[in-house]
Chain A
Amino acid sequence: MARLSAPTVHDSRVSRRRFLGTAGAGVAGVLASGKAPAFGQSRELTFLTVASFVPETDKELKRQLDEWGAANKVKVRLDIIAHLQLVTKKASEVQARSGHDLTALGPGLGDADLYFDYLVDLNDVAADVAPKNGGWLNPNDYLIRGKWKLLPWWMPPFPMAVRTDLLEQLNEKNPDTWEDWLRIGKKGKAIGHPFGTALGHSADANVTLLSILWSYGGAYVAKDGRTVTINSKETRQAMDFVKRLYTEAMDQEVLAWDDASNNRCLNAGKCIAIHNPISAYESAKKDKVLVPGTQREIAEVIDHINTPRGPVDRKATTGYWCVGIWNFSKNQDLAKDFLRYHFQPDNLSKWVEAGRGFNMPFLANLTKHAVYKSDKQYRFIPEVAKVSVPPSWPGPTTAASQQVLDLYIIPDMFAQHATGKMTADQAIVWAEKEMQEIYAGRKRRP
């Protein structure tokens, strides 16, 4: 009679029944827990960010991540996507409770409110990095429901990019107000060089039109973050100005512009000025684009000056790009550690330099970085940064304020009036109703 014996650890043979049992239990365990087995796993920090318009910025970030990983014996991975894809990616990672450890957030601080329950508190990191960098520029702006749910990372300030040769031709000097730009745009349009700012569904349209609204003393929400204040005489004045700007100084194509269109208009030699970061200039320089009909490089005749002021104020906004840590990340401490490393003055400085100043951090010392003195083109960027406020100004950033931006209510309101489809009052009433519904729907339970 054959002797039956239980398999031992020394027994190299594995019965079919045992194999199936073990494999089945393993698969069931993985499916039930939703996690891969722990053995064989090494620590890996993953970081999702958006492609910078200056590729060197991403290379420097990768270098820092690799350097930090090597020093801490952590595997690292930097994934880069186009900024337009970030919304979808964030939504899917939150839905699956799985994804990257560190993630870029934005544009705007609204993600902190929208994903408040999914982001790690960064109060400790914010407190650590501020003193080393001269402090945060406007710390109260970055607190969402009283907490640091993200670190404001970088912004591309919006100066006015202008064609100096055309200004000279029109005998115009030192334009400084929005009214100056209306006058210049009108003259420019007459000689085939209109002013250019988007009036459609694009981030640039939000930025420039909010800048104009504030410069005329208007705002869409009050400081309490609840009261919609778009229906005001200041808004009417701003809208009348934009209507004149559109009809007298711009081409109709601005209604269909995306974020790249104004860059193209300037670099094509058509627009006399655009309200935009330095990206148009940098790409003109890189591609050696010529002034049409000449052998002169267009970058030589582009200058950047301060964002215009209005009758009441000089204010601007921009894309507030931030960084945060998902609370479903398994490497929260590592992620915080890397943030501390990246926000060290030396590392931030190298990163700003790599980006040629396009990526200005929200830290006081970095706004005085040497890169802003390295080219006369950059001289006004720190000035613009000083007057830059979050898009929800004077209210706090909330999911509702972010939705107002995401639905392009401000550009639609201005465009409806500028194109004559609505009177100023009709457009304002429409926008007010939209905003009130958004703010009512987003009201949080006490």
Chain B
Amino acid sequence: MNSAARWTRRIRPLFTVYVPVTPFVLFALFPLYFMLVTSFKKNAELYDVNAVPFLIGRGVTFGHYELLSKDTLFWSWFLNSLMVSVAATVISVVLGILAAYPLARLKFPGANSFGVAIFVTYLVPPSLLFLPLSTVVARLGLSDSLWALVVTYPTFLVPFCTWLLMGYFRTVPKEIEECAMLDGCNRLQTMLRILLPVAVPGVICAALFAFTLSWNEFLYALVFVSPAELKTMTVGVFSELIRGDIYYWGGLMAGACIGSLPIVVAYVFFLDYYVSGLTAGAVK
């Protein structure tokens, strides 16, 4: 009986958890797997319609990774993406905190309207904004420099961070801030010493989202930066590995694989914060 119960306890999750989850995991991982497999295939196999697309049948090649490293400025692009994303994320999260706090906590005329206005700003697509922003960037003399991206990315990151953090800050009980104020903290100290430590999951969630959006951004990076050595990874790979009607599929997939790594690493480390940050505003 005991051993049967133990066996049932052990086997039960297999059917109640692992089996139901498996299709979703496979679905989510399939693009990564396909990218990885394609990046190691020889060109001749990539062209072969009779080859099994999901497996490597004619030997592994590192040629596509070599192409990226030796024939393109891939690692410069990678570094550019990293610098721009980190800078834009830090700026946006700081501004987002400073904007979200008063909108979530202070009562002043138009607070709700400001909140909605910020959300609506986030909804304006970059494909509409890039033309007027081109003028702004040119007037500021920032064209063809990474600063153009550091300055423009917050235009869509700050509204997002603000909106997300507003929701999170509202879940933090006001009472703990009031206690701090009774103990002598001013508003800024309360925010820095009391609210933010409690709101770390929300801040990390906002930072993760901001970093991901910056890392994947394509349009502004294409429009505002032209020199090859200053391109970000998304634009550089696309520019160099799509030549007319010839696509360097192996190289493109190799670039996509390497490009996925920072995001994967960031989410692996901060997954718990991310989940709690996202769901905090869901229930009262």
Q: Which A residues from 249 to 291 make CB contacts under 8 A with B?
A: 259-260, 262-264, 267-270, 276-277, 279-280, 283-284, 287-290
Q: Do A268 and B48 have beta carbons less than 8 Å apart?
A: yes
In the complex, A15 has a CB within 8 A of chain B:
no
Point out the residue from A51, A93, A96 that lies within 8 Å of B244, measured CB to CB: A51
Point out the residue from A31, A81, A262, A284 that lies within 8 Å of B222, measured CB to CB: A81
Q: Do B139 and A31 have beta carbons less than 8 Å apart?
A: yes
Give the shortest distance, in Å, between B223 (CB) and chain A (any CB).
4
Interface centre among B138, B227, B238, B246 (most CB of A within 10 A): B246
Q: Do B228 and A80 have beta carbons less than 8 Å apart?
A: yes
Chain B neighbourhood of A290, CB < 8 A? 44, 48
In the complex, A330 has a CB within 8 A of chain B:
no
In the complex, B212 has a CB within 8 A of chain A:
no
Docked Cα-Cα span, A292 to B47, in Å, equals 9
Q: Do A52 and B244 have beta carbons less than 8 Å apart?
A: yes
Point out the residue from B43, B131, B240, B246 that lies within 8 Å of A91, measured CB to CB: B131
**How many B residues face the partner with a CB closer than 8 A?**
33
Chain A neighbourhood of B132, CB < 8 A? 95
Chain B neighbourhood of A201, CB < 8 A? none
Docked Cα-Cα span, A175 to B223, in Å, equals 46
Stretch at the interface among A4-12, A82-90, A217-225: A82-90
Docked Cα-Cα span, A96 to B235, in Å, equals 20
Chain A neighbourhood of B43, CB < 8 A? 287-289
Chain A neighbourhood of B260, CB < 8 A? none
Contact with A along B106-138 (1 / 0, CB 8 A): 000000000000000000000000111011011
Smallest CB-CB A-B distances: 9 pairs? A53-B244, A287-B43, A98-B138, A96-B138, A96-B134, A92-B134, A79-B226, A259-B245, A92-B223
Docked Cα-Cα span, A35 to B141, in Å, equals 7
Told that A51-B239, A88-B223, A269-B48 touch, could you supply 15 new A-B pairs with CB distance under 8 A?
A48-B226, A51-B242, A51-B244, A53-B245, A55-B243, A82-B242, A82-B243, A92-B224, A96-B134, A98-B143, A99-B138, A267-B47, A270-B49, A279-B245, A292-B50
In the complex, A446 has a CB within 8 A of chain B:
no
Docked Cα-Cα span, A289 to B46, in Å, equals 9
Docked Cα-Cα span, A98 to B247, in Å, equals 31
Q: Do A260 and B47 have beta carbons less than 8 Å apart?
A: no
Give the residue name and chain of the A residue nearest to B238 (CB).
Answer: A82
Known contacts: A52-B244, A53-B244, A92-B130. The answer to whether A80 contacts B222 by CB under 8 A is no
Q: Do A260 and B226 have beta carbons less than 8 Å apart?
A: no
Give the residue name and chain of the B residue nearest to A259 (CB).
Answer: B245
Q: Do B137 and A96 have beta carbons less than 8 Å apart?
A: yes
Contact with A along B241-276 (1 / 0, CB 8 A): 011111100000000000000000000000000000
